[in-house]
Structure 1
Amino acid sequence: MTPEISRNYMFYFSAREIWENLIETYSMKEDSAACYDIESKIFNSRQGTLSVTEYYGTLNGLWIELDQYQGMKMCKANSIAYTRLIERGRIFKFFHGLNFEYNPIQVQILGKEQLPSLSKKPDDQSCLTKETPTQDLQW
């Protein structure tokens, strides 16, 4: 940290206060052009010739990048609800870009009472599996 910048932080009482202020001052979370670019890439993503795993990896990388710009402070209960809402939208986007041969599996998954997480493997072994040469879609 340069001396000019450090002078602004000399009188904070804790390292946490310093970090919170640094994040607020220097973070990239307000970069609307970057967010738009990432959202456009997400919107235009399709599985095409990629395996399901590769397609998910592409989307997940974009979502992680987008999350860096969208820091929000909220209580734990609201945070959990917001995270579920974001995850639901990501499942819909993932399904939207899948090749048509996965439509029957999508219908089965969307018919469940609770949607599975994209990032966690289900605990039960009754995963829905699409028999394909790559056999890479399991829920």
Structure 2
Amino acid sequence: MKNDSSACYDIGSKIFNSRQGTLSVIEYYLTLNGLWIELDQYQGLKMCKADSITYTRFVEKGRIFKFLHDLNYEYDPIRVQILGKEKLPFLSEKPDDQSCLIKETPTQVLQW
């Protein structure tokens, strides 16, 4: 775990300023995910397993909101469907879980 406030600030700024723009949904997700992984290396928190699970889900929810917020407008109907769900999907596919938002298949990118 690294501890560098200026690096965290720079990575956070890149995340904040990220938009889909001309990127495909997968390219946009991979860009954000790479930045999130890099930021996670700087943010080691010591907590019990139960708190860690709760915190991870909280962070994941914020990342879902960021991802959905800055998708291009043509994804508005999907964004509304996803946000209307009782339980948000995971942002990335987890083993043994079919409720994920990003699928790396040619026919289906956003799952809802």
**TM-score band w.r.t. shorter chain:** 0.7 to 0.9
TM-score computed with the length of structure 1 as normaliser = 0.70
Q: Give the structure 2 partner of residue 44 of structure 1.
A: 17
1:123 equivalent to 2:98? Answer yes
User: What amino acid does structure 1 have at the position aligned with 2:11?
Assistant: I
5+ long unaligned stretches in structure 1: 1-26, 129-133
In structure 1, what is the Cα distance between the partners aligned to 2:26 and 2:59? 20
Secondary structure (helix, strand or coil) at the match of 2:21 reads: coil
| 1:74-113 aligned within 5 A | 74-113=47-86
- Out of 48, 73, 76, the position equivalent to 2:46 is 73
Is the alpha carbon distance of 1:81 and 1:117 closer, same or farther for their aligned partners in structure 2, counting shifts above 3 Å? same
Q: CA deviation at 1:138?
A: 2.2
Q: Deviations over 1:8-29 (max 9, x none)?
A: xxxxxxxxxxxxxxxxxxx42x
Quick check: which has more Rg, 1 or 2? 1
Structure 1 residue ranges (4+ consecutive) displaced by more than 4 angstroms after TM superposition? none
Q: Is the 8 A contact 1:51 1:136 kept in 2?
A: no
- Out of 8, 11, 35, the position equivalent to 2:8 is 35
Q: Give the structure 2 partner of residue 53 of structure 1.
A: 26
- Out of 37, 42, 45, the position equivalent to 1:64 is 37
User: What amino acid does structure 1 have at the position aligned with 2:89?
Assistant: P
Secondary structure (helix, strand or coil) at the match of 2:109 reads: coil
Count of matched residue positions in the alignment of Structure 1 and Structure 2:
105
5+ long unaligned stretches in structure 2: none
